[in-house]
Amino acid sequence: MKTTSPTHDGPETEEPGNRKLKKTERTAIRRMAKRARYEREAVYAILDRAMVAHVGFIADGAPVVLPTLHARIADRLFIHGSAANHMLNTTADGAAEICVTVTMIDGLVLARSARHQSVNYRSAVIFGRARRLEDRARKIAALRALVEHIAPGRWNSVRQPNEKETATTLVLELPIDEASAKIRTGEALDDEADYALPVWAGVIPLKMTARSEIADARLDPKIAPPPHVSEYRTPDERVRGSARAHDGEPFERRAGEFLISTDVSLLDLNVIHQFLAHAYWSENIPRPTVARAIRESLCFGIYDGEAQIGMARVISDYATFAYVADVFILEQYRGRGLSKALMSAVMAHPNLQGLRRWTLGTRDAHGLYRKFGFTEPPAPERLMERFDPEVYRRAAGARAAATGGINVRAEGV
């Protein structure tokens, strides 16, 4: 079967029929062997979600390890550098063995003893001989894969490499034949006697997240960020079940046949923006504003199969307060108790417990929110707000003027 990486187009190469990688002396994991993975899918998943690889080799009789960007196309890994780089050239054309490693840290594992402090991680190691790509078409396809791995959609938005740039860029191709993965999850593994110690133990989840974009200092202010920028998701956030949003591992529960989940990879920005742009509280909200709001919030989506049918958004410091916003259920699904189920999930989220104050605004859903303890403020004179009801309309107008009247909100739909 021929396959390519899901995030880009590129030259197809035949994947071996055996989905299990052959264990070798170099790839065999002996310590904590139960964490070892030799399936191609496990190795591929780590390569596709890591942003940086380290390449180790011997140059001029000394060990060298270089960080680099990478990309996978089927059963080949591609790395690049300057064609004038002496160290990388020593590994080209299969002249020397190289070792490529990628690692992602998912959490700090704090144990009761110093010896058992650890981390949760996903890692992969590949051994082999790399060869340089000489064919220009394959070289361009590999460079495209490298760009698309970092920012899907970017390749078609930028100037393509010219002949000089292509000639002065070295691209190495490494077969993924001798490789293994090692994955650690879960809590600390303390000595049995240490469990009685009065020492806190547990996991501090870590995640890589994308923040709001920062425009280049020399960017023409009329150029608005395209969807692949304003709606950017990290590699983990693009994959179902791997999205580590504001709450770490996705929080999920069922409401009959419907799924409620904080997995950001499931969110459908088209559905969300289409509803919010016509809602009384956010009319004319620009699509990039919705994307930014989602990125900086804890979002609960509700789904009928794979189709998103509603959402609730929470803004919180996870210590003292939470603000509930953008709660909706699509019209055809109303009357089934789904708003109540959605709010029940919000209030049950483990990271939102023990907060001193919850707030929200509503014009017509007071009855729903009273079921969850919300009331009118007992001292409204203590509350103040700064409200700009025309901000979305002005933003949409400015964006349309900057693009010559093109409806950029539909871009990427």
Question: The domain that contains 290 carries what CATH number?
Answer: 3.40.630.30
Q: 347 and 239 share a domain?
A: yes
The pLDDT value given to residue 404: 61
383 occurs within a structural domain: yes
Beta strands in 250-344 (DSSP E): 252-255, 258-261, 298-304, 307-316, 321-329
Over residues 368-395, mean pLDDT = 92
Q: Is the pLDDT of residue 150 over 90?
A: yes
pLDDT tens digits, 116-128:
999 999 999 999 9
147 occurs within a structural domain: yes
* Residue (of 228, 253, 233, 257) closest to 243 by Cα position: 233
Confidence of residue 8 (pLDDT cuts 50, 70, 90): very low
CA distance 183 to 118: 12
187 occurs within a structural domain: yes
Tally the domains of the chain. Answer: 2
Q: Which residue has the higher pLDDT, 211 or 335?
A: 335
Question: Where in the sequence is the domain holding 65, given as residue range(s)?
Answer: 2-203
The pLDDT value given to residue 148: 96
Q: Copy the structure tokens of residue 273.
A: 């923006």
Q: 169 and 305 share a domain?
A: no
Q: 175 and 315 share a domain?
A: no
pLDDT tens digits, 196-238:
999 999 999 888 888 889 999 999 988 989 999 999 988 988 8
Q: Which residues of 285-298 are buried (b: 16+ CB within 10 A; e: fewer)?
A: bbbbbbbbbbbebb
Q: 126 and 218 share a domain?
A: no
CATH number for 55: 2.30.110.10
Over residues 3-10, mean pLDDT = 37
Domain boundary pick from 181, 203, 225: 203
Q: 146 and 266 share a domain?
A: no
pLDDT tens digits, 73-113:
999 999 988 877 776 777 777 778 899 999 999 999 999 99
Q: 387 and 405 share a domain?
A: yes
Give the torsion through C-alpha atoms of 145, 146, 152, 155, to 10 deg: -80
- Under 8 Å between Cβ of 112 and 201: yes
Lowest mean pLDDT: which of 2-16, 135-149, 306-320, 347-361?
A: 2-16
272 occurs within a structural domain: yes
Q: 325 and 296 share a domain?
A: yes
234 occurs within a structural domain: yes
pLDDT tens digits, 228-254:
999 998 898 887 765 454 546 789 999
Q: 168 and 246 share a domain?
A: no
Q: 160 and 303 share a domain?
A: no
Domain boundary pick from 162, 178, 203: 203
208 occurs within a structural domain: no
96 occurs within a structural domain: yes
Q: 147 and 225 share a domain?
A: no
Lowest mean pLDDT: which of 58-62, 158-162, 241-245, 258-262?
A: 241-245
The pLDDT value given to residue 1: 26
Q: 181 and 47 share a domain?
A: yes
36 occurs within a structural domain: yes
Residue matched to tokens 């650890």: 118
CA distance 33 to 329: 47
Note the pTM of the prediction, 2 decimals: 0.79
* Residue (of 222, 230, 341, 333) closest to 291 by Cα position: 230
Q: What percentage of the chain reaches a pLDDT higher than 70?
A: 89
Q: 168 and 242 share a domain?
A: no
Domain boundary pick from 150, 176, 203: 203
